[in-house]
Amino acid sequence: MLTAEQIIAAHKANLETLFGLTNKAFEGVEKLVELNLQVAKSGLGEVAEHAKATLSAKDAQELLALQANLLQPAAEKAAAYSRHLYDIASGTNAEVSKIAEGKISEAQKSFLAVVDTAIKNAPAGTENAAALVKSAVAAANNALESVTKAAKQAQDVAEANFQALNTNAVKATAAATKARR
């Protein structure tokens, strides 16, 4: 049976976890805002430089060359931005997942302790039911571990696909830029 102190301690731990997760989410948002400010600041400077160069072009050929030269760096910067954005998101997700996995592990241990206590205090003749409950809990834990591993593998595959897509996009832009010259 749970005591009032145990319930209060559990609520306190849950609040601490909630605030910890909220702080991790805010850290991710702060990184995202910082990245966007850096991109906006550097983009503004590049637009100003490009506008000056465009206004000083002497003919249409020079103007077309300026436009073609702008395409490759823009694609590389977009790919770099995507990588930074993905790194921020996956880093924040990893930290939140780590906290959540720790809490799930703690909850499993607490639940197993409650089950063990209940089994120890069960009346005589309920050994078979107790064994069935223990077996069900072990099966549930195994299923949760399998789902967690599958989710991690899916995340790894998605990350690899994202990186490959990003690399291919930059290569395709480079090839298109060379072809226009």
Q: Show the CA angle centred on residue 71, arms to residues 70 and 72, nearest 5°.
A: 100
Instruction: Give yes or no for residue 2 having a pLDDT over 70.
Output: no
pLDDT, averaged across the chain: 81
Between 44 and 177, name the one with better pLDDT.
44
150, HSE (Cβ side, Cα atoms, 13 Å)? 6
- pLDDT computed for residue 143 by the predictor: 79
Tell me the percentage of the chain whose pLDDT exceeds 70.
Answer: 92
Highest mean pLDDT range out of 4-18, 40-54, 87-101? 40-54
Instruction: Give yes or no for residue 145 having a pLDDT over 80.
Output: no
d(CA 130, CA 99): 31
d(CA 63, CA 54): 6
39, two tokens:
């991109």
Are 28 and 97 in contact by the 8 Å Cβ rule? The answer is no
Q: Which tens digit of pLDDT belongs to each residue from 51-90?
A: 898 888 888 888 888 887 777 788 788 888 888 988 898 8
pTM: 0.60
d(CA 150, CA 157): 11
- Name the pLDDT band for 154 (thresholds 50, 70, 90): confident
